[in-house]
Structure 1
Amino acid sequence: MTGLRRVTLGTWILQIIFAIVVLGLCTDLMNTQRRGEPPITTKYGVFAGVFGLVAAVLGLVALFVDAIPASMVVFLDAASALIFLAGGIAYTVGLKGIRCEFEDNKMAEKLYEHSLVGLDVSTDVLSNCRKATASQAMQFVTSAVALITVSLGFLAQRDRQLGNQRRAHV
């Protein structure tokens, strides 16, 4: 296994771990929602986690199975990066002006009423606020890892094309 393949393997493993973390955080946020339907942002986070997990697992399998086209894997990784980026931005917008602490009654009311984190018990609200903030950060980090994987995919394709050209001239 070449150095580039090892690095790519490592980034896909990271992408799998991070996608599982995003999926777990968002699923937990959905399960602790006590008022009405979970917000669309949380549902989107679950979608992003599942999509990123599938894309990374497929990329990992593609390292060992030549039948999977490299261009498809690069496309899925690029889509995964964009999906996680959009999720991170959605959480950023949704959590605008929210701090996960009770400095005063005004912030406590804001947290209780907030659609992403609002619950009935103050400890649950703080816990959900921290989970939502962690999900936001993890979606941005996973997006960056997926972009690195896309770059590595382009490098691998270029190396394959250069190798084929060298063999054709020999």
Structure 2
Amino acid sequence: MSISTLANWVCRAFQLLFGIVILGLSVTLIRGHHWGALPATLGYAAFLGGVTIIAALIGIAAVWITFLEGIVGMAIDVFAALLNIAGGIALAIKMRGVTCNIKDNDFDDIENGFKAVYNELFNGGCMKFQKVTSCWVMSQPWSASKMENTIEGHCRESSADMVFMFLVAALFLVTAGLAFLRKRKGY
């Protein structure tokens, strides 16, 4: 087994694993949304998890199905990488300016707490009641620490989702590069 074949197998295994992680984190965030319409970013993140799993499985199948080698495989890898980069950027934009250390910022950084509570990825959804916006996480009969833990957990899950999207995009670009080098050398 050549080094490029071994590298391809390792990259494909991590792509599959990261796709499962992206899908799992996204579904967890979706299940934490209770009020109002689901943010499109969360639906797209779950879609990306599925696409990543399928693309990784196609890459693994390319070992036995020659049609999937070469340009077709490279195109699938580059397309999956671009989709994951777009998803990572979308989550980064939605999380802009929020740090996940909610408890540490009680009175030092009220703006961060406000951004976190009203962030649609973390708060479980918001609704307007007689000109007052209320979010699901604030409506629960919880203690302040339970609310902080919920928001902080969703924030960390969103951050991890974003990081895994960028990591798997890099892996797809690596496997596309390996396929390009194999095609160029003719083996």
Query: Is the shorter-chain TM-score for this pair beyond 0.5, marking a shared fold?
Result: yes
Deviations 1:87-124 (A, max 9, x none): 11111111001011220344333212111111313321
Structure 2 residue aligned with 1:166: none
Shift of 1:29: 0.4
Structure 2 residue aligned with 1:24: 24
Counterpart of 2:174, as a letter, is I
Give the % identical residues.
Answer: 27
- For the residue of structure 2 that corresponds to 1:64, the secondary structure is coil
Counterpart of 2:26, as a letter, is C
Counterpart of 2:150, as a letter, is D
> Normalising by the residue count of structure 2, what TM-score does the alignment of the two structures yield?
0.81
Counterpart of 1:150, as a letter, is A
Deviations 1:6-42 (A, max 9, x none): 1111111111111111111111100111222221111
**Is 1:118 matched with 2:123?**
yes
- For the residue of structure 2 that corresponds to 1:63, the secondary structure is coil
- Which stretch has the larger CA shift, 46-55 or 62-71? 62-71
Unaligned runs of 5+ in 2: 125-136, 138-146
Unaligned runs of 5+ in 1: 164-170
Equivalent positions of 1:137-148 (< 5 A) are 137-148=163-174
C-alpha distance in 1, partners of 2:31/2:173? 30
CA contact (8 A) 2:39 2:120 kept: yes
Deviations 1:119-167 (A, max 9, x none): 313321111000001111111111111110110110111122xx6xxxx
Structure 2 residue aligned with 1:78: 78
C-alpha distance in 1, partners of 2:173/2:69? 18
Equivalent positions of 1:1-170 (< 5 A) are 1-102=1-102, 103-104=105-106, 105-119=110-124, 120=137, 121-160=147-186
C-alpha distance in 1, partners of 2:153/2:19? 20
C-alpha distance in 2, partners of 1:110/1:124? 14
C-alpha distance in 1, partners of 2:37/2:19? 23
Counterpart of 2:119, as a letter, is H
C-alpha distance in 1, partners of 2:67/2:73? 11
- Structure with greater helix share of residues: 1
CA contact (8 A) 1:29 1:131 kept: yes
CA contact (8 A) 2:69 2:179 kept: no
Q: CA RMSD in A?
A: 1.4
- For the residue of structure 2 that corresponds to 1:82, the secondary structure is helix
C-alpha distance in 2, partners of 1:134/1:68? 31
- Structure with greater strand share of residues: 2
- For the residue of structure 2 that corresponds to 1:96, the secondary structure is coil
Shift of 1:2: 2.2
Shift of 1:69: 4.2
Alignment CA distance shift 1:67-1:147 (3 Å): closer
> Normalising by the residue count of structure 1, what TM-score does the alignment of the two structures yield?
0.88
Structure 2 residue aligned with 1:168: none
